[in-house]
């Protein structure tokens, strides 16, 4: 259970960073049952390639500052779907068109949603 609590803490850092850069429609899914090596997927939408890149950069910076190690990053050059793999937490930052097209929420619909609590200050930024 301790490992999942760490994943939830990572989720909170990532969610606040995403919201601070204009991320929308945040959804966190507990994928620990079907994927034993990952606890949570965080899905975030940006409204342009520039916004997607800014969200991904901010999430990555904040998680690194918090002491978490990035395993992999993909898609940053195109900034249509950026995947940030931090081991127990994988952050998917989508352009709105890609999010609709790939429909990860539909693919993982049987996974429970993890509540996200974003601070008021983050929502206003």
Strand ordering across the sheet containing 89-95: 24-30, 40-46, 89-95, 81-85, 72-74
Locus of tokens 């606890």: 39
Q: How far out from the chain centre does Cα 49 lie? A: 16
Domain contains 124: no
Domain contains 25: yes
Domain contains 125: no
Q: Which domain holds residue 75?
A: 2-119
Domain contains 16: yes
According to the model, what pLDDT value does residue 2 have? Answer: 54
Per residue in 87-112, pLDDT (tens digit) is 999 999 999 999 999 999 999 999 99
SS3 at position 38: coil
For 49, the enclosing helix (H) or strand (E) is helix 49-65
CATH number of 27's domain: 3.30.460.10
Query: What gap in Å lies between CA 51 and CA 94, rounded to an integer?
Result: 10
* Segment among 36-40, 79-83, 84-88 with least mean pLDDT: 36-40
Query: What gap in Å lies between CA 1 and CA 21, rounded to an integer?
Result: 31
Domain contains 66: yes
pTM of the model: 0.90
Domain contains 35: yes
Domain count, the chain: 1
Domain contains 99: yes
Per residue in 58-82, pLDDT (tens digit) is 999 999 999 999 999 999 999 999 9
Q: Around Cβ 92, how many Cβ atoms within 10 Å?
A: 22
SS3 at position 75: coil
């Amino acid at each position: 259970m301790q490992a999942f609590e760490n994943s939830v803490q990572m989720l909170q850092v990532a969610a606040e960073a995403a919201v601070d850069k204009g991320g929308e429609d945040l959804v966190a899914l507990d994928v620990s049952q079907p994927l034993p090596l990952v606890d949570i997927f965080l899905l975030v939408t940006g409204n342009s390639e520039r916004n997607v890149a800014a969200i991904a950069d901010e999430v990555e910076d904040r998680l690194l500052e918090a002491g978490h190690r990035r395993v992999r990053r993909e898609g940053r050059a195109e900034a249509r779907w950026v995947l940030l793999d931090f081991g127990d937490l994988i952050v998917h930052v989508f352009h709105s068109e890609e999010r609709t097209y790939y429909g990860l929420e539909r693919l993982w619909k049987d996974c429970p949603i993890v509540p996200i609590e974003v601070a008021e200050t983050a929502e206003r930024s």
